[in-house]
Copies of this chain bind each other. A is one copy, B any other.
Amino acid sequence: MIPEDLTQSQFDTVYNLLSLVIASQLFTAVFLVLVLPRVLPRYRQALVIAAVVCGIAAYHYFRIFDSFKDAFVTDAVGGRGTYTQAEGASFNEGYRYVDWLLTVPLLLVELIAVLALARKVQTSLLWKLVPAATLMILLGYPGEISTSDNVRVLWGVLSTIPFIFILYVLFVELTKSLDRQPAQVRTLISRLRILLLASWLVYPIAYALPLLGISGADAWVLKQGGYSIADIAAKAVYALIIYRIARLKSYADDP
């Protein structure tokens, strides 16, 4: 699925987007660490996890960026030519699944942690969300690396089951536990869930693209762009809303 050739403008687009993700994730992590003392101790766990998630993403994007630079080369003066796949180097998409395996469960922990629910409710939610998230990623992987459409469909469907379960827990079960949250916080949590839904949907859609016969360099560039924007939304922007919630709740608890 990795294109044979990229035009300079395609190459530059992916190149700049990957660098944008590095900067966004890295400095969101730095920001979160620096503002940690600005929320009450009971909300810091959520912020620490958010910082760790963005840090892990920055690490993976550094690798993806280097992998991309090594994988596509040109001989043209000033780089003004067609970029082709290099000898001996591959663009490693595997980093994404490695990243998701670590960060997707943590994104859910982060959300539950900032709510500071009763310990029992919290434990029960986490025991549903974390295994489901891990399962979702693990089940998707064999489909991703397969070259057969049928295999892709099969594992994709299996992976969608925990995905839907996660959405159910977040949009139905969690709602019941939100009455005690201040009104402003409830609004923010709604927004957060919509952001989560919108950004997470990008991943199964990207997964389905080859099944829909959408391929070629343009589609591939679009997919990389989609991943980049979705990753910024699902981790960095998400973290900033978590911080906003933590600030509001800190103020509500100790005005």
Report which A residues bind B (CB closer than 8 A): 2, 8-9, 12, 15-16, 19-20, 22-24, 26-27, 30-31, 33-38, 41, 44-45, 48-49, 51-52, 55-56, 59-60, 63, 71, 73-80, 85-92, 94-95, 97-99, 101-102, 145
Contact = CB atoms under 8 A, between A and B. Distances in A.
**Binding site of A, secondary structure by majority: helix, strand, loop or mixed?**
helix
Nearest to A70: B79
A30 B55 contact: yes
A73 B90 CA distance: 11
A19 B79 contact: no
Contacts of A16: 92, 94-95, 97-98
Given A8-B90, A101-B20, A52 B31 contact: yes
B94 A63 contact: no
Contacts of A31: 48-49, 52
B48 A94 contact: no
A57 to B, nearest CB: 10
A79 B75 contact: no
Contacts of A33: 34
A97 to B, nearest CB: 8
Given A23-B56, A78-B85, A78-B86, A92 B30 contact: no
A9 to B, nearest CB: 8
A90 B98 contact: no
Nearest to A22: B59
Given A12-B94, A94-B16, A76 B102 contact: no
13 contacts: A8-B90, A16-B95, A16-B98, A20-B102, A23-B56, A27-B102, A31-B49, A37-B41, A77-B86, A77-B87, A78-B89, A78-B90, A78-B91
Given A34-B51, A45-B38, A76 B88 contact: yes
Given A20-B101, A98-B20, A48 B34 contact: yes
Contact of A27 (B12, B20, B55): B55
Contacts of A34: 33, 36, 48, 51-52
